[in-house]
Amino acid sequence: MAKQNQYFPQSRPHPGITLAEKLEEMGMGAKEFAVRTRKPEKTISAVLNGKSSITSDMAIQFEQVTQIPAHFWMNSQRKYDEFLARKKYEETINTATAWAQLFPLTQMIKSGWIARVTSIQEKTTELLRFFGFADHQAWEEYYYKQQLKVAFRISLAQTQGAHAISAWLRRGELQAERLPVKAFDKKQLESSLPEIKSLVATQPEDFFSRLQAICVGAGVKVIYTPCLPKAPINGATRWINDTPLVQLSGRHKRNDIFWFTVFHELAHILLHGKKDIFLEEVDYQGKDMEKEQQADNFAADYLLSEREEQEILDVPLSILNIRAFAEKFHTHPACIIGRLQHRKLISFSWGNELIEKIELPS
């Protein structure tokens, strides 16, 4: 994310100073100028002393007397007012620096999520811009107090690593904005599941872009957001307006866990409501464990049914047999190994050569 090319001056004179210089040039005092503009002398003195603003009506009247266009006076006043507002906002930034330091700023800058700046005040400003908040209290209202439940319906107040997790989620929202998608079609998503499973079985090099394209065709956005320090999240599912978003971190870098997570998140879309938000491997207030179990069961059964698992267990286990069963059941050997390891039917060291490392495109 490139830093915006903006220049904000360290000082800005009140337009009254310019007016005073012009009156001196004209050889005109404040009293005469007040008479000529039909303004109280007290008002003109306040402007000259920088204690009062030039209004649009005054700018027109000043134009008639000074021959300086009204838009000059109005622009000078606007720039001065903005300068004062920015000076005041510096106080807001200074009070938010401690909050900003709770985020993994170094990694966020390294990853290009926020601009490469130096001072903690600049980093705080960029962080607020990243979230789209005016101050850090707005962040707390959104992620802790659920003041905008139509957008974020859970609270991270009791969640470990809440700051890093919120940054990861926000990055996903920004990525999703750039991904065009048609209207969500539940039937289309359901009919696409076999095609997605074929990616599991064959594991092509471009599996992620193909997964993304299949899901986009059903109106589902699937994005990859690398993990942040202190954000041990594996995936998330939520609806942004009427579009479901699946955000994956590839945290474990194992293809069996990756594909299980994919089907787990798709299950949330197919089985559960638009108002739900699901964060995987993260404890948060209001987490619905029943729905999580339903998604687990859906993913496990789709990748390898209980009947298929039992058929595997009915014969002596060997690498050769695992490969043969994977081909028969149109899944990946890693999904079989991962299932058996998870259920403690084999040791966690057996069959790991069948598990492939996942590398996702940034």
Whether 187 is covered by a domain: the verdict is: yes
Count of domains for the chain: 4
Whether 6 is covered by a domain: the verdict is: no
Please name the residues in contact with 25: beta carbons below 8 A apart, sequence gap of 6 or more. none
Whether 360 is covered by a domain: the verdict is: no
Residues 160, 129, single domain; the answer is yes
Residues 129, 162, single domain; the answer is yes
pLDDT reported for residue 135: 94
Q: What does the DSSP assignment read for 173-227?
A: HHHHHTS------HHHHHHHHHHHHHHHHH--TTHHHHHHHHHHHTT-EEEE---
In 80-156, at which residue ranges do the beta strands (DSSP E only) sit?
none
Q: Give mean pLDDT, residues 317-335.
A: 97
Residues 159, 264, single domain; the answer is no
Q: Give mean pLDDT, residues 354-360.
A: 92
pLDDT reported for residue 248: 97
What six digits make up the tokens of 143?
């992620």
Residues 260, 151, single domain; the answer is no
Whether 5 is covered by a domain: the verdict is: no
Residues 113, 70, single domain; the answer is no
Residues 115, 191, single domain; the answer is no
pLDDT digits (tens, 9 = 90+) for 44-91: 999 999 999 999 999 999 999 999 999 999 999 999 999 999 899 999
Q: Give which of 253, 192, 187 is closest to 222, Cα–Cα.
A: 192
pLDDT digits (tens, 9 = 90+) for 85-132: 989 999 999 999 999 999 999 999 999 999 999 999 999 999 999 999
Q: Give mean pLDDT, residues 318-346.
A: 96
Number of H helices, E strands in the chain: 16, 4
Residues 57, 156, single domain; the answer is no
pLDDT reported for residue 149: 56
The predicted model scores a pTM of 0.85
What is the SS3 assignment for 18? Answer: helix
Whole-angstrom distance between the N-terminal and C-terminal Cα of the chain? 14
Whether 362 is covered by a domain: the verdict is: no
Residues 146, 192, single domain; the answer is no
In eight-state DSSP terms, residue 330 is T
In the chain, at which residue ranges do the beta strands (DSSP E only) sit?
221-224, 235-240, 243-248, 278-280
φ, ψ dihedrals at 230, nearest 5°: 70, 15
Domain that holds residue 327: 306-354
Residues 141, 199, single domain; the answer is no
What six digits make up the tokens of 351?
């069959």
pLDDT at residue 152 tops 80: no
Residues 272, 315, single domain; the answer is no
pLDDT at residue 20 tops 90: yes
Question: Other CB atoms closer than 10 Å to residue 253's CB: what's the count?
Answer: 15
pLDDT at residue 305 tops 60: yes
Whether 313 is covered by a domain: the verdict is: yes
pLDDT digits (tens, 9 = 90+) for 191-226: 999 999 999 999 999 999 999 999 999 999 999 999
4-13, 57-66, 165-174, 347-356: the lowest-pLDDT one: 4-13
257 close to 334: Cβ distance less than 8 angstroms: no
Residues 294, 195, single domain; the answer is yes
Distances (CA, A) of 271 to 25, 35, 186, 197, 218: 78, 77, 10, 18, 15
End of a domain among 169, 198, 227? Answer: 169
pLDDT reported for residue 362: 67
Q: Give which of 50, 30, 54 is closest to 42, Cα–Cα.
A: 30
End of a domain among 258, 282, 302? Answer: 302
Whether 238 is covered by a domain: the verdict is: yes
Residues 88, 106, single domain; the answer is no
Whether 3 is covered by a domain: the verdict is: no
pLDDT digits (tens, 9 = 90+) for 258-293: 999 999 999 999 999 888 899 999 998 888 999 999
